[in-house]
Structure formats: structure tokens, C-alpha cells
């Protein structure tokens, strides 16, 4: 299977690469080049140019630069350019350092090592199959094999702990490629000392360990299972140069790492926008009618389109928002969703439905506005090459996958391979997402009928339920902190460990805020973290909210709540900070609007204070209660 | 595959690897003639040849290559 097949082929590759040297906007041009179908050679060439021309992370990218240390037991240097380019593809500047060949244990444990000097924020551990199976042999007893596995797991766990605690790093662990020819055959599990069996068991153990430790796996063994081991590993190359992953596959390897780096800073895509005709069904609904479109059992093509819908539906069930953009009369476009017996997707699955005759770029803008998400959160799936290239040109921040021509059956695997929706975890809110956006639309409809805003807000019957951070809501809190970009005053990406520290600190508070109304439960929509910075003063380290509840007075009510909590701690002054990013311009005047006094202000941020001794709670249509303890 | 076609494809590969537009490939051309043709570039060339011609070069073949002519001959045998 061709690598990066969801990306379009580059036109004028060499000329465009060479043009970087004379360009003012090197970085954005390089991002565009990274979003073409690069092989190993082109990946290296692009990386070399960018490294020569862009020495340090450009400012104002709206992403956090990453310092990634790659430690392993064999040759890895051929993979680093592809990792950096996969970051570039996502507008993330990645600096890497490679540990000495097999020196990872010393480097992790000796504070004077080059690794410590590099000051990484993320560590990728990549152990080859020969290394992890040292001492395992076919004559081994079952109990010796078990002991060897436990020992290996403990050694890896120790590396993770060292990386986290001594270096303060997020940990990524590459899974192990099963490069060993089987000894028994189909029932390899019956040979206790089989290296192949050992690797299978180790990979399974790594999954559980990763969940316990908050580490992320780079699951190359899963990719190799899909692509074929020979695509990933060449035994001859292993003997020649100790490269376990073949250089030809480096772009795919880089992708696996790059998308995890993006997911960890909330830069995964959030919404799949679907075309209708010849994307969700065969034929043109406006011409062929309900009886004429190809969908459902009875034809291979019809079943292929069902498989596309099945995959989209499952994505929605795990938190990806679905939207529709179609050139059609709305009534025609809606009819299959309401009446066709073989449709898997129904109207309720689609959070924003744009069927009209305006161009698709305008429709995508409308979808982003409708859902209060950025254009760079959208993936646009369309069978029509004209529409794809039009959108790529008009809206380069929208991801537009190449679609296998005339075979819908292949579309789900392309979407999966592209990894647009890579997620580090799943929360209850993810499962409810589409319903929440649907409810939001009902609210908007009520707003249109209710006339003035105050009576609308009153009619919503809003209830705010808040809790201190607790173990129950912790994963959602970390997720929101990781991915909220717009209504986020400081964009501090606290980790799970940071949240635990706040929970344990009596001088700090962390509030998770849920909003309910007559249309349903919006889930956790706000997070505020305050820290005592001097006696009697609390600085608001973090204040973020979900954009879909804005315009309802939630900010004012939240301030009332924060003031109440702070007063109960004996606090007299609240300090609010704003740190500007490319995406959070909407909250530049947040504290000023709430009645704070701005004491310092520059382009890059501001500081404001509020005297709680003279603060009176502001009018609100939201009923506030403290939630039951978890 | 004709020798002419093999050289045309190889020229494209070498242009990409060495970021040139007009590499002149001759059978005698070897690493010592091209600035920057190191072991890393050698891997890039081998990977590209295998991908573009859809062939697999074995250890013995790779070790026996002395110049572009040897490479073209191996490709001709396998395509």
C-alpha cells in the first residue's frame, strides 16, 4: 500500500522546495509541502531545507514546539527527519535528539548526560525485537518465559518513571515489531519460549502499562499487521545497518509519532464533513431520486457506501462531529436521511447540515461557525477532485483526503490511515458529542423565536453544577485542557500529574463546571484553576470554556462562582492573566469585560486584578449548585 | 524495460536525491564523482530504486554495485 496515500501528489516539487531559500514565509510554504505525498527521499530533502532555514521555532504558530528525545537500542537516525516533517505537517516545530546507540539506560539515569542537557519535553523509547527478547529461547519453560516477560516489563516501566519524574517528560513507547519467523506455526502460543509469542505478549502488556502510566504507544506492530511486515522490516537491512524499520517506511513511522504529538496538544481534527452524492451513496439524489441511488445490500457498490456510513457513524459514537456539505436542494439532500431504509446515518447524526448551491469553501466556513470550531478542525471528504482542489486552495487549513476513485469500500481505511482523529483517550462527553451539538441547534432555534436575549436565557432554565477536581472528572479535565484553543486565557497544557498536584494543594483550587438546560446536559464546559501566589491573592492560572456555551452569561456566572470559592479561602484579590496565542483573540478583553482592572498590557498578553472586598455578584440567569462529591 | 527507460527513471531518482534538475547519468558515474554521495545518499538511492521499479535488491547485489552501469544492469535483469 502506498504511503501517505491520503495526501495529494506534489506539483513542481523540486522548484517549490528550492524556492524556500528565497522565501519570506519559509515555514508556511514548508507546511504546504509537508502536506503532499512525500517519500523517504523527499521527506529528507524537505527536512534538510527547513532545518537550514528555520533554526528555532517560529513564534505565533498557535502550537507548542516539541523537544523530542528518541532513545533506543538500534539505529533510529533515519526516522528522525520523518518525525520532524510529520510535526511540520501539523504546524508543530519539532526539535529532536537521538540517544547513543543502545545507551538509553545510562542516559536516562545520569543527570549529566547529553539527554538532560537537551531538556526534552517528550521521550520516545523504541526498542528493537532482538533487544527485548535477549535471553528468550525455544527451550524455555513457561514459568521462565513468564519471569522474563515480567522482568522486561519492569525494566521498561523503570525507564518510563525515570523519564517522567527525573526529566518531567511525556512518554511515548514504540511497540515491538514481531520480526521472528514462527517456530511452531499457527499455534505459536503453545511454545512458551517462542520469541514471536514473547513479542505478542509484551505488546499486550505494554497497552495495559501505558494506560496505567499515562504513556502513549506508537503502535508500529498494528501498522505492520495491516501493511504487511515486509513493508516495515527488511531482514537484510537489519543485518546491514541495524535499521529495524526500513528507511522506505520512515514517512509512515513519522506520521504515527506526529499525530500523537498533535493529539497531545489538542491539534487533532474534530469534525468530518461529508459530501453526499457519490460519497455517502452512489448516484445523484437530485437526478436519480430515492429509488435510483445506489445504497445498501444487493450490490457490491451499495454495500461499499454502507461501509463508509458505518465508519462515520462509529467515529461519531466516539466523539467525532459529523457535518454535511452538499451541492443539492436541501429537501432532496435530506430525504434519504429521513426515508431511505438502508441509510446508516440519520439526520440526528449530523451536527451541521449544509445543502445548497453556494461553493464548498463557503459551506465549510458556515459549518465551522455553526459548530464554534476552527476551520483547522475540519476534514472534508468528497469524491469530486474539483471540489477537493478548490477547498485545498481556498482553505489550506482544512484537511482534504484523496479518495480512492470509484471504490467506496476503500474509503474507511484511507480515513483511518490518515489518522486525522487520533485521540489519546475517550471520555463520556465524547460519546455524547453529536447529541450536544444537536441540542445546541435546538437552543439556537429557541433563540430565534424568543426575541430578546434575556427572556431567551430565562427560558433556557440553565443550571450550573460545579465540583472541585475529582478522580471521576479528571480525564475530561485533562482532555479539555489539552484541546481548548479559543476560549482559553493562558493555554497552559497541564498534564494529568499537574491536575493531581492541584487536587492535593490546599492553597490552590481547580473547578470543573457543568452546564445543564432544558435541552440537555452540555457536559463539563468550563475549567478554572487558581493558585495562591501571595497571602490573600489568588492568581487564575487557567480559565477555559467550551465555545458552544458562549453568549449565555456563563462567563459572568463563573466569575461569581470563582469569587465565592476564593472568598471562602480568605482571599482579597484575584489576579487574571491573558497570554495571547494565534487562536485565543476572542478572550483578549475577558477580564476587562468582567470588571477587572488591567494593570499591565502588551501585544502578547495582559494582567488584571479584581478586589474581592468590593465585588458584588453580577446578574445571571443561571442557577448555581455544588455537585455531589464523587 | 529498455535501457533508455531505465536511465530516464534513474535520472529522476538522482535529481530528487541530489536536488538537481539535470544530472547526466553515465554507466561509469560513481560515488567519487558526485559531491555529497555518501552512505546515507546511497540508502536513499537504493530505497528509491526499489520503490520506483518495484523490485527487491538482495545483499549480494547491493554489495557488488560499483557504478550507475552496474545498477542499471541489475534493474534490467529484474524488470
- Chain B residue with minimal CA distance to A241? B43
CA pair distance A47, A64, nearest whole angstrom: 19
CA pair distance A158, A160, nearest whole angstrom: 5
Asked whether A70 and A124 are in contact (CB, 8 A), the reply is yes
The model's confidence at residue A453, banded by pLDDT at 50, 70 and 90, is: low
Residue A450 has pLDDT above 60, yes or no: no
SS3 track for A366-418: HHHHHHCCCHHHEEEECCCHHHHHHHHHHCCCCECCCCCCCCHHHHHHHHHHH
Residue A432 has pLDDT above 80, yes or no: no
The model's confidence at residue B1, banded by pLDDT at 50, 70 and 90, is: confident
- The full set of domain ranges for chain B reads 3-78
Q: With an 8 Å Cβ cutoff, are B16 and A41 in contact? A: yes
CATH class for the region spanning A460-626: alpha beta
Asked whether A375 and A364 are in contact (CB, 8 A), the reply is yes
**Rg of chain A over CA atoms, in angstroms?**
26
Query: Which residues make beta-bridge pairs with A281?
Result: A277
When CB atoms are compared, the residue of A13, A44, A239 closest to B44 is: A44
- Mean predicted confidence (pLDDT) in A432-459: 69
The mean pLDDT of chain A is 91
Cell of A428: 463520556
Same fold, A13-264 and A271-418: yes
CA pair distance A56, A61, nearest whole angstrom: 12
pTM: 0.75
Percent of chain A with pLDDT over 90: 70
Distance to chain A for B4, nearest Cα, Å: 23
Q: With an 8 Å Cβ cutoff, are A247 and B58 in contact? A: no
Residue-wise pLDDT for A340-378, tens only, equals 989 999 999 999 999 998 889 999 999 999 888 899 999
Nearest-CA neighbor of A458 among A502, A389, A517? A517
- The full set of domain ranges for chain A reads 13-264, 271-418, 460-626
**What is the architecture, at CATH level 2, of domain A271-418?**
3-Layer(aba) Sandwich (3.40)
CB pairs under 8 A between A and B: 37
The model's confidence at residue A521, banded by pLDDT at 50, 70 and 90, is: confident
Residue A541 has pLDDT above 80, yes or no: yes
CA pair distance A619, B62, nearest whole angstrom: 78
Cβ of residue A78 closer than 8 Å to a chain B Cβ: yes
Q: With an 8 Å Cβ cutoff, are A240 and B59 in contact? A: yes
Classify the complex by whether its ipTM is higher than 0.90, answering yes or no. no
Contacts of A39 in chain B (CB under 8 A): 47-48, 51
The pLDDT value recorded for residue A139 is 95
Q: With an 8 Å Cβ cutoff, are B48 and A39 in contact? A: yes
The pLDDT value recorded for residue A2 is 83
What homologous superfamily does CATH list for A13-264? SGNH hydrolase (3.40.50.1110)
**What is the architecture, at CATH level 2, of domain B3-78?**
Orthogonal Bundle (1.10)
Cell of A148: 522474563
- Mean predicted confidence (pLDDT) in A398-411: 92
Nearest-CA neighbor of A161 among A477, A497, A470? A497
Amino acid at each position: 500500500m502506498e504511503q501517505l496515500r491520503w495526501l495529494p501528489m506534489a506539483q513542481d516539487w523540486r522548484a517549490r522546495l528550492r524556492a524556500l531559500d528565497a522565501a519570506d514565509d519559509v515555514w508556511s510554504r514548508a507546511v504546504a509541502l509537508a502536506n503532499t505525498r512525500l517519500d523517504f527521499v523527499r521527506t529528507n530533502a524537505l527536512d534538510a531545507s527547513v532545518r537550514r532555514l528555520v533554526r528555532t521555532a517560529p513564534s505565533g504558530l498557535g502550537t507548542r514546539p516539541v523537544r523530542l528525545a528518541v532513545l533506543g537500542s538500534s539505529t533510529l537516525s533515519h526516522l528522525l527527519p520523518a518525525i520532524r516533517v510529520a510535526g511540520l505537517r501539523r504546524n508543530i516545530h519539532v526539535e529532536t535528539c537521538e540517544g547513543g546507540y543502545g545507551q538509553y539506560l545510562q542516559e536516562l539515569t545520569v543527570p549529566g548526560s547529553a539527554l538532560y542537557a537537551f531538556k526534552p519535553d517528550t521521550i520516545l523509547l523504541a526498542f528493537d525485537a532482538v533487544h527485548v527478547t535477549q535471553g528468550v529461547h525455544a527451550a524455555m519453560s513457561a514459568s521462565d518465559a513468564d519471569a522474563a516477560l515480567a522482568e522486561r516489563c519492569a525494566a521498561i516501566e523503570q525507564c518510563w518513571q525515570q523519564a517522567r519524574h527525573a526529566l518531567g517528560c511525556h512518554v511515548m513507547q514504540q511497540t515491538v515489531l514481531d520480526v521472528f519467523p514462527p517456530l511452531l506455526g499457527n499455534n505459536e502460543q503453545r511454545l512458551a519460549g517462542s520469541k514471536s509469542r514473547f513479542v505478542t505478549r509484551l505488546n499486550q502488556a505494554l497497552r495495559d502499562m501505558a494506560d496505567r502510566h499515562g504513556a502513549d504507544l506508537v503502535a508500529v506492530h498494528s501498522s505492520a499487521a495491516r501493511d504487511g511486515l515486509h513493508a516495515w522490516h527488511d531482514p537484510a537491512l537489519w543485518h546491514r545497518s541495524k535499521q529495524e524499520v526500513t528507511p522506505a517506511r520512515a514517512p509512515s513511522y513519522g506520521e504515527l509519532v506526529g499525530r500523537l504529538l498533535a493529539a497531545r496538544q489538542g491539534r487533532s481534527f474534530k469534525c468530518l464533513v461529508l459530501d453526499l452524492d457519490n460519497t455517502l451513496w452512489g448516484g445523484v439524489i437530485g437526478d436519480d431520486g430515492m429509488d435510483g441511488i445506489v445504497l445498501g445490500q444487493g450490490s457490491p457498490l451499495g454495500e461499499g457506501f454502507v461501509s463508509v456510513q458505518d465508519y462515520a457513524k462509529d467515529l461519531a459514537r466516539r466523539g467525532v462531529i459529523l457535518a454535511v456539505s452538499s451541492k443539492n436542494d436541501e429537501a432532496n439532500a435530506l430525504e434519504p436521511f429521513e426515508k431511505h431504509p438502508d441509510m446508516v446515518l440519520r439526520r440526528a447524526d449530523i451536527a451541521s447540515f449544509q445543502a445548497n448551491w453556494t461553493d464548498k469553501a463557503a459551506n465549510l466556513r458556515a459549518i465551522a461557525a455553526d459548530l464554534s470550531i476552527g476551520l483547522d478542525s475540519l476534514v472534508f471528504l468528497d469524491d469530486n477532485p474539483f471540489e477537493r482542489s478548490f477547498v485545498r486552495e481556498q482553505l489550506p487549513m482544512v484537511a482534504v483526503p484523496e479518495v480512492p476513485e470509484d471504490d467506496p469500500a476503500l474509503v474507511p481505511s484511507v480515513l483511518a490511515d490518515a489518522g486525522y482523529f487520533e485521540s489519546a483517550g475517550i471520555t463520556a462527553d465524547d460519546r455524547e458529542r453529536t447529541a450536544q451539538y444537536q441540542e445546541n441547534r435546538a437552543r439556537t432555534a429557541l433563540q430565534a423565536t424568543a426575541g430578546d436575549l434575556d427572556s431567551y436565557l430565562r427560558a433556557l432554565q440553565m443550571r450550573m453544577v460545579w465540583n472541585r477536581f475529582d478522580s471521576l472528572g479528571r480525564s475530561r479535565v485533562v482532555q479539555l485542557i489539552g484541546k481548548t484553543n479559543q476560549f482559553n486565557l493562558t493555554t497552559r497544557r497541564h498534564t494529568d500529574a499537574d491536575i493531581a498536584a492541584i487536587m492535593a494543594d490546599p492553597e490552590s483550587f481547580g473547578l470543573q463546571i457543568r452546564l445543564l438546560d432544558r435541552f440537555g446536559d452540555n457536559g463539563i464546559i468550563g475549567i478554572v484553576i487558581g493558585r495562591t501566589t501571595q497571602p490573600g491573592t489568588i492568581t487564575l492560572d487557567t480559565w477555559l470554556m467550551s465555545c458552544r456555551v458562549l453568549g449565555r452569561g456563563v462567563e459572568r456566572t463563573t466569575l461569581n462562582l470563582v469569587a465565592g470559592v476564593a472568598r471562602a479561602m480568605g482571599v482579597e484579590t484575584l489576579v487574571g492573566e491573558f497570554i495571547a496565542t494565534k487562536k485565543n483573540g476572542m478572550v483578549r478583553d475577558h477580564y476587562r469585560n468582567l470588571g477587572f482592572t488591567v494593570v499591565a498590557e502588551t501585544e502578547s498578553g495582559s494582567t488584571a486584578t479584581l478586589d474581592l472586598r468590593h465585588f458584588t455578584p453580577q446578574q445571571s440567569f443561571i442557577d448555581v449548585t455544588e455537585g455531589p462529591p464523587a | 524495460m529498455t535501457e533508455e527507460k531505465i536511465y530516464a527513471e534513474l535520472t529522476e531518482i538522482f535529481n530528487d536525491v541530489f536536488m538537481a534538475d539535470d544530472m547526466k547519468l553515465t554507466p561509469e558515474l560513481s560515488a567519487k564523482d558526485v559531491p555529497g554521495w555518501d552512505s546515507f545518499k546511497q540508502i536513499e538511492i537504493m530505497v528509491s530504486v526499489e520503490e520506483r521499479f518495484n523490485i527487491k535488491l538482495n545483499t549480494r547485489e547491493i554489495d557488488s554495485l560499483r557504478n550507475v552501469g552496474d545498477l542499471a544492469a541489475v534493474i534490467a535483469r529484474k524488470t
